[in-house]
Amino acid sequence: LPHRWLLREVWGPEYEDAIEYLRVYIGRLRRKLGEDESHRHIWTEQGIGYQFEA
Protein backbone atom coordinates (compact mmCIF):
# COMPACT_ATOMS: atom_id res chain seq x y z
CA LEU A 1 0.00 0.00 0.00
CA PRO A 2 1.55 3.32 -1.02
CA HIS A 3 2.40 5.84 1.72
CA ARG A 4 0.27 8.62 0.25
CA TRP A 5 -2.75 6.36 -0.22
CA LEU A 6 -2.64 5.19 3.42
CA LEU A 7 -2.25 8.74 4.71
CA ARG A 8 -5.08 10.09 2.55
CA GLU A 9 -7.49 7.24 3.34
CA VAL A 10 -6.81 7.06 7.09
CA TRP A 11 -6.13 10.70 8.07
CA GLY A 12 -7.42 12.67 5.07
CA PRO A 13 -5.89 14.55 2.12
CA GLU A 14 -4.25 17.19 4.32
CA TYR A 15 -1.89 14.47 5.66
CA GLU A 16 -0.92 13.03 2.27
CA ASP A 17 2.70 14.24 2.58
CA ALA A 18 3.15 13.37 6.29
CA ILE A 19 5.18 10.19 5.72
CA GLU A 20 7.04 10.48 9.04
CA TYR A 21 3.66 10.56 10.79
CA LEU A 22 2.78 7.25 9.13
CA ARG A 23 6.13 5.68 10.09
CA VAL A 24 5.45 6.43 13.76
CA TYR A 25 2.03 4.78 13.65
CA ILE A 26 3.27 1.74 11.72
CA GLY A 27 5.99 1.33 14.37
CA ARG A 28 3.38 1.45 17.13
CA LEU A 29 1.21 -1.06 15.29
CA ARG A 30 4.18 -3.42 14.90
CA ARG A 31 4.88 -3.25 18.64
CA LYS A 32 1.23 -3.98 19.45
CA LEU A 33 1.35 -6.99 17.12
CA GLY A 34 4.49 -8.18 18.89
CA GLU A 35 6.52 -8.25 15.70
CA ASP A 36 10.22 -9.03 15.50
CA GLU A 37 12.59 -9.78 12.62
CA SER A 38 11.59 -13.46 12.49
CA HIS A 39 7.82 -12.89 12.52
CA ARG A 40 6.33 -9.96 10.61
CA HIS A 41 2.86 -8.97 9.43
CA ILE A 42 3.89 -5.58 8.03
CA TRP A 43 6.76 -5.28 5.55
CA THR A 44 8.30 -1.99 4.44
CA GLU A 45 8.60 -1.53 0.69
CA GLN A 46 11.39 1.09 0.46
CA GLY A 47 10.24 4.22 -1.37
CA ILE A 48 6.78 2.77 -1.98
CA GLY A 49 4.83 1.99 1.19
CA TYR A 50 3.88 -1.08 3.20
CA GLN A 51 2.84 -4.63 2.51
CA PHE A 52 0.51 -6.38 4.97
CA GLU A 53 0.44 -10.14 5.36
CA ALA A 54 -2.25 -12.06 7.23
Set out the domains of the chain in order of their start, with CATH numbers.
3-52 (1.10.10.10)
Q: What is the pLDDT of residues 5-45, one digit of tens each?
A: 999 999 999 999 999 989 999 999 999 999 877 788 999 99
Chain Cα centroid distance, residue 2: 9
Q: What 3-state DSSP class applies to 17?
A: coil
| Prediction pTM value | 0.78
- Rounded Cα gap, residues 47 and 38, in angstroms: 22
4 HSE (CA, 13 A, CB side): 5
Phi, psi of 50 (to 5 degrees): -130, 150
1 HSE (CA, 13 A, CB side): 16
User: How many residues appear in the chain?
Assistant: 54
